[in-house]
Amino acid sequence: MFSYRHAFHAGNHADALKHVTLLATLRHLMAKSTPLTLIDTHAGAGVYRLDDGAARLSGEAEQGVARLQALHQARVSEENQAPAQAQRAQAATKEEANLLWDYLALVAGFNSNASPGAPWRVYPGSPFLMHALMTEPGRAAVHDRLKLFELHPTDSQALAAHVAQLEAGRQVSVARQDGFEGLKGLLPPPADRAGSRRALVLIDPSYEIKTDYARVAAAVQDGLRRFATGVYLVWYPIIGRAQAHDLPRRLRTLANQAGRPWLHATLAVGAPRSATPAAVPGAEPARPGLTASGMFVINPPHTLAAGLRAALPVLQEALARGPHAGWTVETGG
């Protein structure tokens, strides 16, 4: 049950899709100066070293955020050389800049102590990205709250230690608990002084247990019953498993039944040709690992679809590893 460790996958293409979507959604919600309750049901360790044994062993960050760092550095260089032209280019691709470049700038901020041009060695998970936005100068006075759940004993301990270094007090809480169960006690969120209730829920289990797919759908269904106006973001892997194929359809049905709008985005990076068939007859084919994933958002910002349609082609081009790379964005409700 506890074999999955996100440290092996931190900064890969799936994280890029998840975190670009999460940050774009949060930016939109934070344009309104009323508090948010932010909930991460499967928080992991919170922040990761890309130069430790796990990340180096998998090499996924090298095929993910390391490639994106090159994009970020090229953009910064262009801005330094020709600020006026760069500003015009940003204005022409505003939605893309608000998503992809915002994400990369935040990751770069966690590596600000590194030498110029040095590879990024720190990757912030969802909890630390959400906390970064909560505590920005223009937002800190609002006093959003972040609720984190992690059941894995090692990752839960690491998460608690990392959060303690933030010195966030009661604004951030960590519970070693099943996030599916913990979520029930947080919805609906408490109202602020003006009676407003707002919450964002991120659900991204490892799916190492097949029942996770059904539990995700059940958690969303229960969440919509308790708090229909909440924003629910679900990450899932696109793999050859019936449950994975069926999950977005189940989520779409739940959103439609609740009368709520939805967005479904996918990103596929493909696999090298050598990783698909066996190179030698009778030999085991090389395993390419996860090559695609999806994000399903219920009650998405109205700006999210356009932003992703601008950002995902850039991500695909930067992260593609072979045939069948691609992206999609669908909306409804």
**Contact (Cβ atoms closer than 8 angstroms) between residue 310 and residue 95:** yes
Mean pLDDT of the chain: 90
Mean pLDDT of 90-103: 66
Query: Token pair 């659900």 is at which residue?
Result: 203
Percentage of residues of the chain with pLDDT beyond 90: 77
pTM of the model: 0.92
Q: When comparing pLDDT for 114 and 331, which is higher?
A: 331
Q: Which is higher by pLDDT, 119 or 88?
A: 119
Indicate if 40 belongs to the active site: no
pLDDT mean over 20-32: 97
* pLDDT given for residue 45 in this prediction: 96
Please report the pLDDT score of residue 37 as a whole number.
98
Tell me what the mean pLDDT of segment 155-171 comes to. 95
Predicted local confidence at residue 1, as pLDDT: 54
Residue length of the chain: 333
Report, as an integer, the average pLDDT of 197-212: 96
Residues 323 and 268: their CA atoms lie apart, in Å, by 10
Question: How far is C-alpha 202 from the geometric centre of its chain's CA atoms?
Answer: 8
Q: Which residues are within 8 A (CB) of 251 and not within 5 positions of it... i.e. 6 or more apart?
A: 216, 217, 220, 234, 262, 264, 296, 298
pLDDT digits (tens, 9 = 90+) for 223-239: 999 999 999 999 999 99
Asked if the model's pLDDT at residue 286 lies above 60, the reply is no
Cα–Cα distance between 142 and 160 in angstroms, integer? 24
Is 199 within 8 Å of 38 (Cβ atoms)?
Answer: yes
Residue type, 99: L
- Which residues make beta-bridge pairs with 148? 40, 174
Query: Looking at the predicted structure, is the pLDDT value of residue 80 above 80?
Result: no
Q: Give me the mean pLDDT over the 272-292 stretch.
A: 61
The beta-strand segments (E) located in the chain are 37-40, 47-49, 122-124, 145-149, 172-175, 199-203, 231-237, 262-268, 292-298, 326-332
| Angstrom distance (rounded) from CA 99 to CA 311 | 7
- CA distances to 87, 96, 144 from 32, rounded to whole Å, are 26, 21, 12
Q: Region 296-306: what's the mean pLDDT?
A: 97
Model confidence at 50: pLDDT above 60: yes
Q: Which residue has the higher pLDDT, 128 or 77?
A: 128
**Residue 2, pLDDT score:** 59
- Residue given tokens 């100068």 in the structure block: 137
Give the C-alpha separation, 114 to 15, whole Å.
22
Q: By C-alpha distance, which of 191, 184, 196 is closest to 220?
A: 184
DSSP state letters, 282-317: TSPPPP----EEEEEEES--TTHHHHHHHHHHHHHH
Query: pLDDT tens-digit profile of 240-274?
Result: 999 999 999 999 999 999 999 999 999 999 988 76
| Whether residue 294 has pLDDT greater than 80 | yes
Catalytic residue, from 204, 212, 222, 246: name it.
Answer: 204
Q: Tens digit of pLDDT for each residue in 308-329?
A: 999 999 999 999 999 999 999 9
Please indicate whether residue 85 or residue 235 has the higher confidence score (pLDDT): 235
Q: What is the pLDDT of residue 93?
A: 47
More confident position, 302 or 56: 302
